[in-house]
Structure 1
């Protein structure tokens, strides 16, 4: 005889965490399809995009800044950046004032692949989230609120 398990939610579709997990898995599957031909994982794309974004504002971008921009673990960022360097998508150089830090820069090949990937990912996002229609701005605002509220936990 099994013990009855008490769930707070009446069904999985009442659980925001379950639904978020399902949406995330489906979205990641869609992104994998567009990034695989570019020899990029989603994590590599996220870090390249963070570097591209930060580079628009500053010539000197560090690994720590990329980790902070992407809400990603610093050790993982280091490993992924090494992989991107082997692929010749980024270069790492000595920091002009901080001997402990490296300046991360997109290479010409990295900038090209990032531009292609951005277009592919943005198109995939548009298609994936199109079901939200006019609710998309509110959805984005709510996700931003969730990120801001839970970022430092």
Structure 2
């Protein structure tokens, strides 16, 4: 019996990812944030709250995003007044990132909505801890 589209883990992952991205985009729409803007702002905020003033490369590495794209998105977040970029005194080519008070408040509310969307989306999964283990492996985050 030939295999069909519903037998392809890659296609199923693609379809599930698209559904999840639509849910997250809807949750972020009231905040005027794209998904990548949300991820980079949330990562920067988290690093700031850990006492770090990361440069763009550190944020890109942490978020697992392309460095050039990260730079473009960070500029857009700065234009929106959600974070500031400052020259790194150690490396004049680098920019240190700090989330503004406005950005911190916005990301706090956005994270709540994204977590709500995640809970709704993944409620059909009986073992989210097991799913997270599998996703970490697929993302190269654990052996």
Tell me the TM-score normalized by structure 1: 0.88
The aligned counterpart of 2:109 is 116
TM-fit CA distance, 1:29: 0.6
68-77 or 89-98, larger mean C-alpha shift:
89-98
The reply to whether residue 59 of structure 1 matches residue 52 of structure 2 is yes
CA RMSD of aligned residues (A): 1.5
Indicate yes or no: 2:113 matched with 1:136. no
Q: How many residues align?
A: 141
Pair 1:43 & 2:43 matched: no
1:58 Cα deviation after fit? 3.2
Shift of the alpha carbon at 1:127? 0.8
The equivalent of 1:147 in structure 2 is 139
Structure-1 separation of matches of 2:44 and 2:65: 13
- Cα distance in 2 for partners of 1:149, 1:15 equals 23
CA distance in 2, matches of 1:53, 1:126: 21
- Equivalent residue for 1:4? none
Q: Residues 119 and 149 from structure 1, CA distance in 2 versus in 1: closer, same or farther, beyond 3 angstroms? A: closer
The structure whose Rg is larger is 1
Superposed displacement of residue 53, structure 1:
1.7
C-alpha distance in structure 2 between counterparts of 1:107 and 1:59, whole Å: 14
Give the one of 8, 14, 38 matched to 1:15.
8
Gaps in structure 2 of 5+ consecutive residues: none
Query: 1:56 deviation in Å?
Result: 2.3
- What SS class does the counterpart of residue 17 from structure 2 fall into? helix
| Residue equivalent to 2:93 | 100
2:97 match: secondary structure: strand
**Corresponding position of 2:75:** 82
State the TM-score, normalized to the length of structure 2.
0.94
